[in-house]
Structure 1
Amino acid sequence: MNISQRQWHTKVSRALWEDRITVKKAIGTSPYKLVYGKEAALPLTLELNSLALAQKMEFEGTDQREVKMVEL
């Protein structure tokens, strides 16, 4: 990711959100679900894009971190 040093603050909010909704192997769920007791509701367009990406990469057996890196 090539971000200007003056623009880093514009990316922090999204990066934190993505980290909070990502399932962690150590706890078997996302931090968001631990706090709120349910999965985060994502906008439909984001869910459709994620589904298309998962299908394209034949998601089975692919590590979630690899998928995130491709999305970025």
Structure 2
Amino acid sequence: MTEKHRDWHEKLPYALMAYRTSIRTSTGATPYSLMYGMEAVLPAEVEIPSLRILMETKLEEANWIKQRHEQLSLIDEKRLNAICHGQCYQKRMARAYNKKVHLRTFDEGDKVLKRILPVQDEAKGKFAPNWQGLFIVQKEAFLILDRLYSCMHDGVFGMMKLIGT
């Protein structure tokens, strides 16, 4: 099946509908329900009525307005629940991330390589070196996630580059 990329503007409303009506893990709700206080009516539900649509069509206008007003009054509660769900999700993600972080200590005289951070003036592509030099640790240091932190003394980083590397 060959797809043409010229008709993306015709598929955009469907993609946005899918995005707005799918439940987010971080909030536990759909963006549509957090915005409007109710679930979206899918185009398929208009043609083939679901139980929810049938119940709404049988309501009188006054009852429908009253029910909608109640839904809108509960929207703040839904949003607060989404915020609480988001905070729990962030804690869960932080806990999973912190499980993989290992503290590594280096003693004086240890030989180490220093990671070259990706932000450089001279980006040489994928064949650029990822590590720099061979250093000897002069002061006690510790490593968290590829970054070497050292006991700073008079602006000296606490590592000495080996000659010839």
How does the TM-score come out when normalised to structure 1? 0.54
The change in CA–CA distance for 1:8 and 1:37 in structure 2 (over 3 A counts) is same
- 1:38 offset after TM fit, Å? 0.7
Structure-1 residue corresponding to 2:12: 12
% identity of equivalent residues: 35
The change in CA–CA distance for 1:46 and 1:11 in structure 2 (over 3 A counts) is farther
Runs of 5+ unmatched residues, structure 1:
49-72
Residue-pair matches, total: 48
- 1:6 offset after TM fit, Å? 1.2
Q: Which has the higher strand share?
A: 2
Q: For 1:16 and 1:10, how far apart are their aligned partners in 2?
A: 11
Larger radius of gyration: 2
How does the TM-score come out when normalised to structure 2? 0.26
Structure-2 residue corresponding to 1:28: 28
- 1:2 offset after TM fit, Å? 4.9
Runs of 5+ unmatched residues, structure 2:
51-165
Q: CA RMSD in A?
A: 2.4
